[in-house]
Structure 1
Amino acid sequence: MPVTPPPEYIVRPRLPGSRGQRVLATLLGMALLTASFALGWALAPHTTPPASRAAADTRELRALKQQLAILRSDRQVTRVATDALRRTLADRGAEIESLRADLAFYTRLIGGDERTPGLSVAAFGLRALPGTRGYTFVVTLLQTARGGTPVHGTLHLALEGVQNGRAVRYGWAQLADAQQRDGLPFAFKYFQQLHGMLVLPAGFVPARIHLDLKPEGGAALTRDLPWASALAGKDTTHVPQNP
């Protein structure tokens, strides 16, 4: 029976810097790598992820839109309030002017302004008819004679102005319609309003208005008014009618 020879052992000397040193070097390298990564992270600028940044921008945009809507709403409310205040002030101004006109009218009616008693023109209003050369007018006549004697007569109106470069005058018969060409009759005790209409001739530019009052049994009365002033004058329809 053959005999198995014993194993051979080879003895090798352990070199310096063996396994322990290698492990230590490996750990040291990993530590240096980790430190380098951490240092680079600390020094590098941190940026917000795109999704988070988009969400933040959306929230900011929504907040700005809300603020803008609030400001616009406040501005609109302020504008409405300002317009309402202006209209109120304008209405109050018109009301004050109307009351002043009423006061002046009734003061003259009772003779409280110490003017010469008799027939007079208290007010004259002129309005254009849109799209035509026609105008409507309202004349308020007043009598301040004490005792209240009724007065009767007719009113005629004439215009002076320029036509084709020449000064011309048109009488009432040339301006009024067929029903009013004989004049506007009046008959009252204290005051009365007369309504009429006139049509300007083609090419005629009026400058002045002449009112001729011819009471029965009394002296005629003439009053001249600038056309522009009468056209821009105050409305006289607030004066009550004589029943």
Structure 2
Amino acid sequence: MVSLIGALALTSVYGLSVVVEEKDQMISQLQLRLSNALDSQSVLQQRLSMVQLEQDTGLAEVAQLKRNIDELTQQNVSITEELLVYRTIMAPEQQAGGMKIEQLHIEPMLSPGYYRMQVLLMQVARNKRWLKGDLELLVIGSQDLQPAQYSLSELQQESAALSFKFHYFQEVNADLKLPDGFKPERIELTAKVKGNKWNKKAEIVHQQNWPN
């Protein structure tokens, strides 16, 4: 009897681990599909801006580009909805505030000391309400061999609040200028979700190392 119970328990644990692994793989695949779709959409939008500036461009090409962008937008929404289902199953504890900071990219620009920040925000619950709030940035490092940190307003030439309002997902961009002599080590991004009768007020904090 003992060995039978042990065998049943082992089978249950093994089966559960397989299900979790399969869902993890599905989430990774969906994240990759969404990232590729967003990249394609960005390329098409840039092409659309270019052709609209060209005097000899036919209206047919502009119309086709707009249709392609609309199709990609619908595809992104579909992938995001599917991703939300798996996230709700796999990580219901992450639903505080109804969203998460999915990606944070920092890329150097052509001018020395200038960087482009790209943030991808996503819902983590099947909520049909809009989410809105503000992003706060803190870059931590050293300057003149002393600990130092700078906020978003201190890193922008034109200080402005970085706000978000979205359903499903939103990409937020900002240009940063690091002070001379400052060596960044890590970055801390906080999303402050405004509360209402459908969503609780919440803060989501994302930390990562500054890219080399």
Whether 2:128 is the aligned partner of 1:154: answer no
Whether 2:200 is the aligned partner of 1:222: answer no
1:107 deviation in Å?
7.6
1:212 deviation in Å?
1.2
For residue 128 of structure 2, give the secondary structure of its aligned residue in structure 1.
Answer: coil
Tell me the distance in 2 between the aligned counterparts of 1:174 and 1:213: 18
Whether 2:108 is the aligned partner of 1:140: answer no
Between structure 1 and structure 2, the one with the greater Rg is 1
Structure 1 residue ranges, 4+ long, deviating more than 4 angstroms after superposition:
97-100
1:103 deviation in Å?
6.1
For residue 86 of structure 2, give the secondary structure of its aligned residue in structure 1.
Answer: coil
- Tell me the equivalent position of 2:32: 101
Tell me the distance in 2 between the aligned counterparts of 1:190 and 1:99: 14
Tell me the distance in 1 between the aligned counterparts of 2:144 and 2:111: 22
Contact 2:139/2:151 (CA < 8 Å) preserved in 1? yes
Contact 2:103/2:119 (CA < 8 Å) preserved in 1? yes
* RMSD over aligned Cα atoms: 2.4
For residue 149 of structure 1, give the secondary structure of its aligned residue in structure 2.
Answer: coil
What are the ranges of 5 or more consecutive residues in structure 1 without an aligned counterpart? 1-96, 232-243
For residue 110 of structure 1, give the secondary structure of its aligned residue in structure 2.
Answer: helix
Aligned residues: 131
Contact 2:101/2:204 (CA < 8 Å) preserved in 1? no
Tell me the distance in 2 between the aligned counterparts of 1:191 and 1:131: 30
CA offsets, 1:53-81, max 9 Å, x none?
Answer: xxxxxxxxxxxxxxxxxxxxxxxxxxxxx
Whether 2:185 is the aligned partner of 1:207: answer yes
Whether 2:166 is the aligned partner of 1:188: answer yes
CA offsets, 1:158-197, max 9 Å, x none?
Answer: 100011001111111111232xx34211100110000111
Paired residue type of 1:177: Q
Structure 1 residues 202 and 98: alpha-carbon distance in aligned structure 2, compared to 1, 3 A threshold = farther
For residue 111 of structure 1, give the secondary structure of its aligned residue in structure 2.
Answer: helix
Structure 1 residues 173 and 131: alpha-carbon distance in aligned structure 2, compared to 1, 3 A threshold = closer
Tell me the distance in 1 between the aligned counterparts of 2:143 and 2:151: 15
- Tell me the equivalent position of 2:148: 168
Structure with bigger strand share is 2
- Tell me the equivalent position of 1:124: 104
Tell me the distance in 2 between the aligned counterparts of 1:129 and 1:103: 25
1:210 deviation in Å?
0.8
Structure 1 residues 211 and 227: alpha-carbon distance in aligned structure 2, compared to 1, 3 A threshold = same
- Tell me the equivalent position of 2:23: none
Contact 2:30/2:83 (CA < 8 Å) preserved in 1? no
Tell me the distance in 1 between the aligned counterparts of 2:30 and 2:128: 24
